[in-house]
Structure formats: structure tokens, C-alpha cells
Structure 1
Amino acid sequence: MDIIQSLLKEMEQEAQTTRKMLSIIPEDKFNWQPHPKSMSVIRLATHIAELPGWVSMVLDTAELDFATAPYDPKVITNVKELLAYFEETLAAGKARLEKAQLPELNEQWILRNGEDIYSKSTKAEFIRISYSQIVHHRAQLGVDLRLLDVKIPGSYGPSADEQFEVLEKA
């Protein structure tokens, strides 16, 4: 399996878990945040939903400079919109990755804020970093939802909530 096929497979595997997490967010808790320095639930979920689109951005650019490209997150008002946005960015990222050529994956890509360089890597490496960001932020969302007493679905096997439900039924 080449790197493109491997990245596509991983994208789809992570999308399955991400859909589950995004779909269980209570809309009445969208503005809740566990700490003043933390993102609100909806801000965090919107960021998770946009991250598959970073695949296209990475493949189509040489860098992202936060100093020259101000961040303007999409406004989401309900879970249906959130899931639709996730599917939109996922489809765009997948379509662009399917068209990618191996040589472009070896090109350098930089994440920066002006002179401060956060990451300098190949495009393939940064696509993997983007996937890791989805997993990282999905875990943050899981903690937030747990604090709100929302039952958490499993990611790579059953969650504690799912295991407890099985034990209760036995």
C-alpha cells in the first residue's frame, strides 16, 4: 500500500469515530467550556469538523502563516450543520488526496505565525499531523462531554460507558 492509499484509509477510519463524537453533542451545551482558557464545546467541535479540509490546504499551498491569514471559524448553530460541515471538509480533503501525486507529498510545508515557525515538514508528514490533531481534539471533546455526563462512544474499541452498559445488562 502506498502512502496515499494509507492516508486515505486512515482518514476514513478516523472519520467513523469523529462522526460518532460530533453527533452526540447536546446543542444546549454548545457554549459550555470547562475553563476560561478552553474552547467552548461548539468551537472545539467546529475545529474538529474543519480539520479534514486541512489536507487540501496542505497539498495546495506551501505554508499557513497565521499572521497573514486570520482565522475565521465557520458559525455552526446545530448538530445537523456540524455534521454536514464535517462531511463537506472530509469529502474535499479525500478528493484532493485521491488526486495527489507522490512527489508533491515530499514537498516542504510550513506552519507559522510570522517569524515563529511551529512546524516544518513534508506535506505527507503534515497531513499526518492534521490527523493527529483530529484525534487530539476529539479526545478533548470526549473529556468535555464526560464532564457534561454525556455517554462517550468507543474510538478503537468499546468505551467505558459501552462496557458498563454490557455489564448492567448481564
Structure 2
Amino acid sequence: MHTSSIQQNILAELDHELAQTRKTLERVPFEQADYKPHPKSMSLWQLATHVVNLLAFNTLFVQHDARDFLDPNAPKPGPTPTSPEELLARFDEYSAMLRQALNESDDEKLTHNFRLHRGEQTIMEMPKGSAIRIMGLNHSIHHRGQLTVYLRLLDIPVPGLYGPSADEK
């Protein structure tokens, strides 16, 4: 009987979603970086950068047991990319780091809790495997969905992510 592991399931899902996310990021027009569909929205470039930086956050879930937002020495993403090439290079780098961290982990480690907090205030505490899925992958997919709306509003062909898009039919 073949049993599937938490680690292998996450890696398979990650590989699929990373490929779809890269397709989306490749279409982000840097010349419209400041575009916002609403005053409360992030700019196009802020959103694209956030999608990329979430990969580093995912790696944190795998490799550490906690993250305090008040810790001035906690790891932070690098400066905002200043070109599409820099954005995609960071995406590829952070994707590779996350894959490596997951490959070096195992099911037992992924059942350990991860605590996200601000000083004494716990924001989230759950098993690492769940944190990766909920706060990592689902969070990234949510923001990638927002990015596709920005693309649509800017009249840029939207890539098919789970089958053909309206632009690919």
C-alpha cells in the first residue's frame, strides 16, 4: 500500500502553484507599477512583490518554530525589486529556497507548531504543515487571484491557471 506524506503532498501542490504564479508574474507590466484599482488597494508592484515575498515567509514556517513581528533582527525580504527581471529572479530564488527547506524537512517536523506573534500577542499558532498550506499557499493563491484582476482591468491577457482563461479560449 502506498502512503502519501504531508511533505510530498505539499511539495506537489507547491510545484503546481509556483508554475502558475510565475506565469502570472511574467505578465505584470512594470511600466504600470503604480496602478491601483482602488485607493485602499496595494499598487500593482506592491502586490506582485508581496506574492514573491510570501515564499520567504513559507520557508520561515518550515525552518523555524516562531516569528515575532516585533523582533528587529528577524529576517526580512530584500529591497523592492526595481525591474521585472529582479522580481522573477527573486521569485526563482525564493522558490528554490522553499523547495530545499521542504525537501530537508519531514512529516514529523511538519507536525510541530509554528507561532506567529507580535510580542506576547499570538496572531496564529498551528502545525507547520497547516501554516504552510493556510498562511503560505492559500495566502499566495489569494493574492495571485488579485493580481489576475489587476491584469484584467489593465487589459493584459490573463493566463489560464486551472484551465484556459477567457483570453485563451
TM-score by length of 1: 0.89
In structure 1, which of residues 136, 152, 158 is the aligned counterpart of residue 142 of structure 2?
A: 136
CA contact (8 A) 1:31 1:41 kept: yes
- Secondary structure of the residue aligned to 1:150 is coil
What aligned pairs does 1:72-111 form with structure 2 within 5 A after superposition?
74-111=79-116
Deviation at 1:34, TM superposition (A): 1.7
Q: Give the ranges of 4+ consecutive aligned residues of structure 1 lying more than 4 Å apart after TM superposition.
A: 69-73
* 1:65 matched to 2:68: yes
Higher helix share: 1
- Measure the CA separation in 2 of the matches of 1:79 and 1:41: 12
- Give the letter for the 1:148 counterpart: L
* 1:120 matched to 2:140: no
- Measure the CA separation in 2 of the matches of 1:159 and 1:73: 33
**Structure 1 residues without counterparts, runs of 5 or longer:** 164-170
TM-score by length of 2: 0.89
Q: How many pairs are equivalent? A: 163
- Give the letter for the 1:92 counterpart: M
CA contact (8 A) 2:115 2:126 kept: yes
- Measure the CA separation in 2 of the matches of 1:17 and 1:72: 22
CA contact (8 A) 2:53 2:77 kept: no
- Secondary structure of the residue aligned to 1:96 is helix
Q: Report the counterpart of residue 42 of structure 1 in structure 2.
A: 45
CA contact (8 A) 1:62 1:110 kept: yes
Deviation at 1:133, TM superposition (A): 0.9
- Measure the CA separation in 2 of the matches of 1:33 and 1:112: 30
RMSD of equivalent CA atoms: 1.6
Q: Percent identity?
A: 37
**Structure 2 residues without counterparts, runs of 5 or longer:** none
